[in-house]
Amino acid sequence: MAKKRAAPAERQEMSGMERLGLRVSSMINHPVAQAQRWVTIHRLDADGDREWEEVLGVIAETAELELTLNDDGSVTVRWEQQEVEETGRGEVEFEPEEEAAPF
């Protein structure tokens, strides 16, 4: 009795924009970056001009993020700590610091 093997799943390549967005998102959401509330992002040789500009545009349009272009071509992204909200029952509720990046 021969067993049939499942056909291997077709591998789908990520686009340059998806790769860059994932890298930047991961850097912003990293615990160290969340603790210090800033991160410096360096452009890699594999990052295309269009993708880099598009990601910087998304960051610049996000009200909670401050973008600083550095002399070496890197970008520093800063953000403020989220406000603390009080619930009606005398408890303090903290806003989560780790929010997904907008891309």
Tens of pLDDT along 17-64?
889 999 999 999 999 999 999 999 999 998 999 999 999 999 999 999
Considering the chain, what is the average pLDDT of its residues?
Answer: 82
**Domain encompassing residue 71:** 16-94
Residue 4 domain flag = no
102 pLDDT above the threshold of 70: no
Q: Are the C-beta atoms of residues 85 and 91 closer than 8 Å to each other?
A: no
Quote the strand ranges of 7-81, DSSP E. 38-41, 65-69, 75-79
Asked if pLDDT for residue 75 goes beyond 70, the answer is yes
In a domain, 3, yes or no: no
Asked if residue 59 lies in contact with residue 67, where contact means CB atoms within 8 angstroms, the answer is: yes
pLDDT at 7 over 80: no
User: At residue 16, does pLDDT exceed 90?
Assistant: no
Contact between residue 53 and residue 102 where contact means Cβ atoms under 8 Å apart: no
Domain-located, residue 102: no
**Overall domain count for the chain:** 1
